[in-house]
Amino acid sequence: MVWKNLIFHGVIIFLLCQKVSGQTFLEKEDRPIAFSNKEVTLYDSWIKQRETLNTNFLHKLDPDRLLHNFRINAGITSDAQPLEGWESPKIGLRGHFVGHYLSACASLIEKNGDTILQKRINYMVDVLWDCQQKMGGKYLSAFPEKDFTTLETEFSGIWAPYYTYHKIMQGLLDVYTLTGNKKAYGMVRNMADYVKERMDKLSPEVIEKVLYTSNANPPNEPGGMNNVLHNLYTVSKDTAHLKLASLFDRKWFTQPLYEGQDILPGLHSNTHLPLVIGFARRYENTGETYYRDVTATFWDILIHHHTYVNGSSSGPRPTATTPTSRTAEHWGLPDLISKTLTSEIAESCVSHNTQKITSTMFQWTASPECANVYMNTFYNSVMALQNSENGTYVYHLPLSSPQNKKFLKESDFRCCNGTCIEAFSHLNSNIYFYNNNNIWVNLYIPSEVRWNARGVTFSQKGNFPSDPAIKFAVSIKEASRFALNLFMPDWINNNTKLLINGVPVSTYFKPLSYIKLDREWENGDEIELIFDYRFYVKTMPDNQNMLAIYYGPVLLAFETDKELFLDGNIADISNSISKQGSDMVFKLKNNGAEYKLLPFYDINNSSYGVYATLGN
């Protein structure tokens, strides 16, 4: 089998139990469902401020500049100034950012009714429709069709045409599903027809070569083609779309995972994460448990054997054959990550796509571990990617010392600021989930959710994680019984307090669990949850002397321009940290030096370090 050639460094075998990687899958009627974009509203908070920074950037972009390469490719005159970075006229990925832009704008239009973006998206769809008609009615891209011909005949020499094509398809599909633009839907279907016509002409052997992506920085990276086509099938119910999507679900990648093997070492991280998102969508469309189990095993291997302390991953390739693979973008050997801390680890796209899989895993299992992984990655990776002063984003998020966040210029349109503008338009997602009789609260973000089926509005206020106290309120038309499930992270302790209508609730606060409040709720009921934060450390799996420091849910970063070496043991370190006043500012005295520590998400322009090494 072809997949056997992918065993670079010896495959790690993980025994699959009946539950699949320790996760118990719920029956469909029992699963948590994420509330829709329109049902969750962010209140004013630092999270809402981050969304606003992102929205302001989207407003500033010139649609004619975004459309320039599409017009030129279609033979339509454009006087606009071309974009820069990976959207430059000679770059193979040109057009990819436009796909992310369409998706991000559609999200903000749906949930906020943004009239500026609504007018702009309608204009852009009309222009893209003209471009598609000019090129024959099916093909649509900012790069020429010959790139696909090169891929199908030489299997190299181009830069990821399917990756970019997928971005545009998904952006248009989001415009249709979130804003109702029927012209966008017709364009996506036409683009799918184009892909089908190309694939129908290829032999199975050629298709295998086109979609075999085991090498470093694969130029044939297909992006989420399987995912967008499975998403299209969800809407169209056209079996031709399901069959086409399935062509991109390759056995060389899925079968080792199904058998419990760690196939990740050496693979380009963000080439394969979108494929797994597609596998999950296929299972939800078809009920094929094979793809559910592949997704679950992948998630288990990734989270438990390839991630850094904040849930991010990607770094140097074990066998480096390209300049990028020496420092970035690939997965290494399982549990051997302490020597991978280059200045280019933890690609932003990787963190965002990992969150998508984690959210899906929660919806299949209601697992507190999934909620814990999502929360940790949200605060300590995703929120750390954005500059809180101007809204710019990083490509990589280094964790060693000394490092700096290298924020991309607003004119530098790369994959990660494309992914980030989309992700930061969804900061109201995955806070709340529901089924017939339950509502889950997985994130403590000032917001409200409208559970329309039960006539309930549930709100939370506070300033988590800076303030450990959260207040919830129930607004309901008439008394109703349901269970409110409040997530208890892995750092919880029994000094936590819970009150209902001012009356303390006696309960055991178990880490990685839910406090289930199953009762008849009445209008005006109030709940107060007050966490107790402690300092603690997390170490590298392969080096117990390399550690990172947490304060409750918050990963702390040292402000330093030197490599971090600390004296003493773990207990000494934990006991030597103190909080300075009411702000999230901390001080650590060690070996005659005094260090200032801040939440990693508050680091902007300072030189910093996250992991520190204990000396002898």
Integer Cα distance of 114 and 565 in angstroms: 49
If asked whether residues 78 and 199 sit together in one domain, one would say: yes
Q: How far is 537 from 555, CA to CA, in rounded Å?
A: 9
Strand partners, 456: 451, 476
* Cis upstream peptide for 398 (omega within 30°): no
525 lies in the same domain as 542: no
Average pLDDT for the chain: 95
Task: Give the pLDDT confidence of 473-487 residue by residue, as tens digits.
Answer: 999 999 999 999 999
Measured CA to CA, the distance from residue 490 to residue 553 in angstroms comes to 9
Q: What is the spatial distance between Cα 67 and Cα 82, in angstroms, rounded to a whole number?
A: 9
pLDDT at 21: 66
Of 222, 248, 274, which residue sits at a domain end?
248
From 193, 223, 248, the end of a domain falls on 248
> How confident is the model over 260-301, as pLDDT tens digits?
999 999 999 999 999 999 999 999 999 999 999 999 999 999
Residue 360 has pLDDT above 90, yes or no: yes
Q: What's the distance, Cα to Cα, between the start and end of the chain in Å?
A: 49
The residues pairing with 438 across neighbouring beta strands, listed in sequence order, are 483
In a domain, 3, yes or no: yes
CA distances from 563 to 522, 568, 594 (A): 56, 17, 14
Give a yes or no: residue 277 inside a domain. yes
Can you spell out the DSSP letters for 501-539?
A: TTEEP-----SSEEEEEEEEE-TT-EEEEE----EEEEE
Residues 380 and 52 sit within 8 Å (Cβ to Cβ): no
Tell whether 205 and 345 lie within a shared domain. no
Statement to judge: residues 421 and 475 lie in one domain = no
Q: Are residues 524 and 419 both part of a single domain? A: no
Based on the fold, state whether residues 514 and 582 are members of the same structural domain. Answer: no
Pairing verdict, β 469-476 and 261-262: unpaired
The pLDDT confidence band at residue 19, using thresholds 50, 70 and 90, is: low
For residue 22, pLDDT beyond 80: no
pLDDT digits (tens, 9 = 90+) for 306-359: 999 999 999 999 999 999 999 999 999 999 999 999 999 999 999 999 999 999
Domain-embedded: residue 33: no
pLDDT at 582: 79
Indicate the DSSP class of residue 209: H
Distance, in Å, from the CA atom of 143 to the CA atom of 74, rounded to the nearest integer, reads 9
What is the rounded CA–CA span in Å between residue 85 and residue 89? 9
Please say if the pLDDT value at position 16 is more than 70: no
Residue 6 belongs to what domain range? 1-25+252-428
- Within this chain, do residues 135 and 13 fall inside the same structural domain, yes or no? no
Strand, coil or helix: 439:
strand
Domain membership of residue 385 (yes or no) is: yes
Q: What's the gap between Cα 509 and its chain centre?
A: 29
Q: Position of tokens 């420091």?
A: 549
Please check whether residue 377 lies inside any domain of the structure.
yes
* 274 shares a domain with 180: no
Domain membership of residue 484 (yes or no) is yes
pLDDT of residue 15: 37
Query: Per residue in 572-610, pLDDT tens?
Result: 898 899 998 878 999 999 988 999 999 999 999 999 999
Closest CA to 470 of 497, 491, 507, 495: 497
- Do 423 and 436 share a domain, yes or no? no
Residue 2 pLDDT > 80:
no
CA distance 14 to 303: 13
How many structural domains is the chain composed of? 4
Shared-domain flag, residues 588 and 524 = no
Same domain, 449 and 573: no
| Residue 52, in any domain of the structure | no
Residue 55, domain member (yes or no): no
Query: What is the torsion angle, in degrees rounded to the nearest 10, for the CA atoms of residue 440, residue 444, residue 450 and residue 456?
Result: 60
Considering the chain, what percentage of its residues have pLDDT values greater than 90?
Answer: 94
Tokens representing residue 575 in the block: 């006991």
- pLDDT at residue 428 is higher than 90: yes
pTM, whole model, 2 decimals? 0.96
What residue has token string 């929205």?
A: 55
> Residue 485 is part of a domain; what is its CATH number?
2.60.40.1180
168 and 274 together in one domain: no
Residues 6+ apart with CB under 8 A from 520: 479, 480, 481
